Amino acid sequence: MLEQLGISEDTLNFIKQEEESLKDVYKEIDDNCELNTMKVLAGFQKYEVSEGVFNSTTGYGYNDYGRDTIEKVFAYVLDAEDAIVRSQFISGTHALTVALFAFLRPNDKMLSISGLPYDTLHEVIGIRPNNSSLASYGVTYDQIDLVDNDFDYEKIKDYLKNNKVKLIEIQRSKGYSTRKSITLDKIERVVKAIREVDQEVIIMVDNCYCEFVETQTPLTVGADVIVGSLIKNLGGGIAPNGAYIAGRKDLIDLAGERLTCPGEGRDVGPTLGINKSILQGLFFAPSVVRSALKTAVLTAKSLEDMGYDVEPKYNVKRADIVENITFNDADKLIKYIQGIQAGSPIDSNAAPIPTDMPGYKDPIIMASGSFTQGSSIEFSCDGPIRPPYVAYQQGGLTYEYGRLGVAKAIENLKRG
């Protein structure tokens, strides 16, 4: 079998040896999964999910009882007052865009306090010019960078004392940067700091890749609204597309008015037969996130022992499911990512090459041999072709497939 998979016995033995030293870390991941599983099950039971919820609507999607139930269950699981969960959100970026355009008005100011936001938001905000950006509507933007991977607490407070800010954006996952992702204890500290000087500013958190990595959410520690994608953690690899916005009810209503139209808001939106997939995805999500976390931990330990810089290290507290490997070499980055593709269930015969992607500045190489296009809760790896040539790896629907994927990528790297 190993020969068929193109993995040497040496490589598999190396992986097995590494796993021996990871038992304690895996135990913590199991415990976290157990708690999140309880939370999901409690949500299903509290809102009495029944077969009727799987029914479908078409057209306007009036009176979609299933859709409304899904949104209650998601709100419960995310510690939110309310949530909007829709397949009409094309992606996480689209949900973030809807939220920003819903909450901000001309002459309002948006402030990012986690440095430069995710690449695809640059044209949305107007950091890179676009005729339909927030900037084109007169929304101004400012940014405070992280310092040593933490918020610049004093600068943030000073800024808020001297400027009227409508919305603060915090991005937890690192995107294509080399900073660390942001854990909930830091979110809690910065929310407290913000509230010392400003009780009104909307605190919005880009929660992509972070769901179920911990048992709480940014809303539990005082954020107003969070946003994430269903082809990442919460979709459990089952949701065919979509995204969510969760948090304060007044904000969720505003997001609904912007996603559809003022006046119709959240009362429309056909579910077209996907309710069961969304709920089944949520049901699997704690376990899928566990697989993704273990795959990330195994990658961290293995690649570090092979002499590469990895972030996070295998034994630190994680904020998200992303693992960085710094190759300092374009060719090694490409080899590793091609190995991930070759180890995938779908399109294993395709060799990804760097290419320009809509919304991104540098050429990107992406391995995604996934059932759902672009799904990055499935084992996937990508990276911009720019120094220091960092791979961003994430996902793994099951740990067993994840570890074989890592083995295959290591094999490809070793063969050069």
Ligand X SMILES: *Cc1c(COP(=O)(O)O)cnc(C)c1O
Binding region for ligand X (CB under 6 A) out of 9-17, 50-58, 89-97, 258-266:
89-97
Q: Which residues contact 61 (CB under 8 A, 6 or more apart)?
A: 67, 268, 269, 270, 271
Q: Is 118 in the site for ligand X (CB under 6 A)?
A: yes
Residue from 36, 87, 88, 171 binding ligand X (CB under 6 A): 171
Residue 222 backbone class (left: φ over 0; alpha: ψ -120 to 50; beta: rest): left
User: How many chain residues are in contact with ligand X, going by CB under 6 A?
Assistant: 12
Angle at 230 between CA 65 and CA 291, to 5 degrees: 120
- 175 touches ligand X by CB under 6 A: yes
State the Cα–Cα distance between residues 20 and 24, nearest whole angstrom: 9
Q: Give min distance, CB of 60 to ligand X, in A.
A: 26
207 binds ligand X (CB under 6 A): no
Contact in structure between 229 and 395 (CB atoms under 8 Å): no
Residue nearest to ligand X (CB): 92
Q: Does the protein bind ligand X through residue 326 (CB under 6 A)?
A: no
Q: Is 392 in the site for ligand X (CB under 6 A)?
A: no
What does the angle CA 103 – CA 109 – CA 114 come to, to the nearest 5 degrees?
A: 90
Q: How far is the CB of 208 from ligand X (least distance, A)?
A: 3
Binding region for ligand X (CB under 6 A) out of 133-141, 155-163, 171-179, 398-406: 171-179
Q: Does 93 bind ligand X (CB under 6 A)?
A: yes
Which three-class secondary structure state does DSSP give residue 118? coil
Is 91 a binding residue for ligand X by CB under 6 A? The answer is yes
- Report the C-alpha gap between 47 and 53 in whole angstroms: 10
DSSP 185: H
CA angle 54, 55, 59 (to 5 degrees): 130
Q: Does 173 bind ligand X (CB under 6 A)?
A: yes
Q: Where are the alpha helices (DSSP H) in 153-183?
A: 153-162
> Strand 225-229 vs strand 380-384: parallel, antiparallel, or unpaired?
unpaired
Minimum CB separation from ligand X for residue 95, in Å?
8
Instruction: Let me know: does 29 contact 290? Beta carbons within 8 Å.
Output: yes
Q: Name the residue nearer to ligand X (CB basis): 36 or 91.
A: 91
Q: Which CB sits closer to ligand X, 207 or 291? A: 207
Cβ distance to ligand X smaller for residue 175 or 352: 175
> What are the structure tokens assigned to 151, written together?
């918020």
- Could you tell me the smallest distance in angstroms from the CB atom of residue 96 to ligand X? 6
**C-beta of 120: minimal distance to ligand X in Å?**
5
Rule CB under 6 A: say whether 32 interacts with ligand X: no
Residue 193 and residue 172: Cα distance in Å, rounded? 17
Please report whether residue 380 would count as binding ligand X according to CB under 6 A: no
Q: Which residue intervals of 104-232 are DSSP H helices? A: 122-125, 153-162, 184-197
User: Binding residue for ligand X (CB under 6 A) from 57, 229, 368, 372?
Assistant: 229
Task: Give the shortest CB-134-to-ligand X separation in angstroms.
Answer: 16
| Contact flag: residue 395 with ligand X (CB under 6 A) | no
Strands 202-206 and 167-171: parallel
The Cα-based distances of 105 to 26, 32, 125, 257, 275 in angstroms read: 46, 40, 13, 14, 33
Binding of ligand X by 206 (CB under 6 A): yes
CB of 300 to ligand X, least distance (A): 18
Among 69, 120, 133, 241, binds ligand X (CB under 6 A): 120
Residue from 209, 284, 314, 399 that binds ligand X (CB under 6 A)?
209
- With CB under 6 A as the contact rule, the residue among 124, 168, 170, 208 that binds ligand X is 208
Nearer to ligand X, 95 or 191 (CB): 95
Question: Which one of the spans 90-98, 138-146, 269-277, 283-291 is the region binding ligand X (CB under 6 A)?
Answer: 90-98
Stretch that binds ligand X, among 64-72, 205-213, 291-299, 325-333 (CB under 6 A): 205-213
Token code pair at residue 159 = 């800024």
Q: Where are the beta strands (DSSP E) in 59-184?
A: 82-86, 109-112, 140-143, 167-171
Q: Identify which of residues 202 and 410 has a Cβ nearer to ligand X in the complex.
A: 202
List all residues 6 or more positions away from 123 whose beta carbon is below 8 Å from its beta carbon.
Answer: 129, 130, 133, 359
Binding site residues, ligand X, CB under 6 A: 91-93, 118, 120, 171, 173, 175, 206, 208-209, 229
